[in-house]
Structure 1
Amino acid sequence: MIEAPEALCLSEQLNGVIKGKVVTDVIPCYTPHKFTFFNGDPEAYPGMLLGKTVDGACAYGGMVQINVGDAKVVFSDGANLRYYEPEAKLPNKHQLLIGFEDQSCIIVSVRMYGAVWCFVGDSFEGGLMSYYGGAKNKPQVLSDAFDKAYFMSLINDEGVQKKSAKALLATDQMIPGLGNGVLQDILYLARVHPKTKIAVLSQAKREELFGCVKKVLREIYRLGGRCSEKDLFDQKGGYVPYLSKDTVGSHCVYCGDYILKENYLGGSIYYCNTCQQEER
């Protein structure tokens, strides 16, 4: 799934290869996929994009946005973007193809589930607009606007003290682009158990947690994303997580205890029971 570091990497790569190009082909829904979430009728997408010039791409949280004239195309979650040079062999299955005047194209293929939105202006109708608006309007986690003061305003809010560390950081779009995929290493380096309630964290631990949010996400971005994700050119990212499905049962690099896995809040959590003891 795309999270903040991957979204930023993808947007920068898109700016390098499609910015300034004119859209000449748009093929939506080439392969039906019931968990691809479009806004409105995808058959209307060509009318919004054809003949327009790509102004550039940007990232909002875990979303990638391409600005095409007065229209916008937004991708998130499991929407995989790939760039294809002219005359390259194209995949047989995809959910959206956008072709350009030089015969290059980008193709979106959804794994599991993903959003592929296209709209004119700054908003669109429907329940998904709040998801997009939240990602766009909150401070971006990799930006200077997401500073210690802002993070402390989130974690010190009276209404979140009964929440667990995972619930605060990676649910309800509290921090857009910070999801379960990047959460595990943040909590691991901060020595915080995913189930630990916010109320029991000391001020020093809260500040340490902020530092780990910045440290982990910046490192993932620096290395071009996590190794479980691929970039615009089908290359895996260089960041290898300390905690993931691939490290369950292996030894903690700090204490030698085993890495454990369990289900919690609709997904998996991974932790070292020695380094990340649940505080009560």
Structure 2
Amino acid sequence: MIELPESHALAACMNEAVRGKVIEEVTAGLTPHRFAFFYGNKEDYPALLEGKTIGESRAWGGYLETDAGDAVIRFNDGVNVRYYEAGAKLPAKHQMYIGFEDGSCIVCTIQMYGGISVSRAGEDQNPYYLTARRKPSPLTDAFDEAYFLRMYEEAKNKKKNMSAKAFLATEQRIPGLGNGVLQDILFEAGLHPKARLENLTDEDLDSLYRSIKRVLLRMTQQGGRDTEKTLFGQYGGYMTILSKKTLEEPCPVCGGMISRQAYLGGNVYFCPRCQEMK
């Protein structure tokens, strides 16, 4: 799943691998997928992209955005974006293929759900994308403690019994912060995923704010999480503390057993000792 660290890692890899290449062939929707969401008419993608030169790639929250002449390509959520050199064996099934004049290509596949968009610059009015562009990233100075506390007060006033997970990972409060990166953020803050906002102390809030900034920066600097793959098919360099990969390992702080529970549309991982329920 593309979350904030992965969108930045993918953008850096795209700038390294494909910037300046000319698009020769585009295919969208070759393999039908119930949860592949295309913005606009995918049959128009070839006309919008073929013959265009790849420009800069950038990250907006959980979106990877790439310029291609007067058009813009965007991928989000569960789109697996991979780069292949000329002559490499490609997946037999895919949701998008972008072939370049030198024989290399980008192939996108979707396992669960994902969004693909191609439009002329300035024409994409998807509200999720616009929100990702509008809100400050935790990687920037604009996401300061005052901004975080305003966000907290608004959420608490809206629903006092809102949980920590719901606060961080729903309603696009922090674009790009999803259920994946959430786990280590809450662990480092010492907060249970189901902890209620109304029960958090000033110390808890300070710890949570600093954990958001620190963990997301570390994940991004290390090229994404070790549960997600880069443009080149390698796992990210950030070793997750709490994830499906570490479930059978003891807590690195207290040595206790890690718990996994289904909650709010996905699994949460936590240490019952280090992250007591509030």
Query: Shorter-chain-normalised TM-score: which range?
Result: over 0.9
Structure 2 residue identity aligned to 1:81:
V
Alpha carbons of structure 1 residues 175 and 52: separation in structure 2 relative to 1, 3 Å = same
Aligned to 2:18: 18
Q: Distance in 1 between matches of 2:102 and 2:159?
A: 51
Aligned to 1:219: 218
Structure 2 residue identity aligned to 1:196:
A
CA contact (8 A) 1:160 1:168 kept: no
CA contact (8 A) 1:141 1:177 kept: no
Aligned to 1:268: 267
29-38 or 165-174, larger mean C-alpha shift: 29-38
Aligned to 1:131: 128
Structure 1 residue identity aligned to 2:256:
D
Question: Which 4+ residue blocks in structure 1 deviate beyond 4 angstroms?
Answer: none
Unaligned runs of 5+ in 1: none
Q: Distance in 2 between matches of 1:230 and 1:247?
A: 17
Q: Distance in 2 between matches of 1:203 and 1:156?
A: 12
Aligned to 2:158: 159
Aligned to 1:92: 92
For 1:201-240, what aligned pairs fall within 5 Å after superposition? Answer: 201-240=200-239
Alignment partner of 1:2 is 2:16? no
Q: Secondary structure at the match of 1:44?
A: helix
CA contact (8 A) 1:230 1:236 kept: yes
CA contact (8 A) 1:142 1:217 kept: yes
Q: Distance in 2 between matches of 1:247 and 1:18?
A: 34
Q: Distance in 1 between matches of 2:250 and 2:234?
A: 28
Q: Distance in 2 between matches of 1:250 and 1:17?
A: 36
* Structure 1 residue 230 displacement after superposition: 0.6
* Structure 1 residue 221 displacement after superposition: 1.4
Aligned to 1:48: 48
Structure 2 residue identity aligned to 1:258:
M
Q: Distance in 1 between matches of 2:106 and 2:96?
A: 8
Alpha carbons of structure 1 residues 160 and 11: separation in structure 2 relative to 1, 3 Å = farther
CA offset digits 1:90-119 (Å, max 9, x no partner) = 221111111122222111111111111111
Q: Distance in 2 between matches of 1:252 and 1:202?
A: 24
* TM-score using structure 1 length: 0.94
Structure 2 residue identity aligned to 1:82:
R
Q: Distance in 1 between matches of 2:57 and 2:211?
A: 28
Between the two proteins, the alignment pairs up a number of residues equal to 276
Identity fraction in percent: 46
Q: Distance in 1 between matches of 2:162 and 2:60?
A: 25
CA RMSD of aligned residues (A): 1.5
CA contact (8 A) 1:4 1:142 kept: no
CA contact (8 A) 2:52 2:68 kept: yes
CA offset digits 1:186-221 (Å, max 9, x no partner) = 111111111111122112221111111111111211
CA offset digits 1:198-252 (Å, max 9, x no partner) = 1221122211111111111112112211111110111111222211223335322
Alignment partner of 1:193 is 2:192? yes
Aligned to 2:138: 141
Q: Distance in 1 between matches of 2:39 and 2:255?
A: 48
Aligned to 1:120: 120
Structure 1 residue identity aligned to 2:127:
S
* Structure 1 residue 77 displacement after superposition: 1.0
Q: Secondary structure at the match of 1:33?
A: coil
* Structure 1 residue 161 displacement after superposition: 4.0
Unaligned runs of 5+ in 2: none
Q: Secondary structure at the match of 2:217?
A: helix
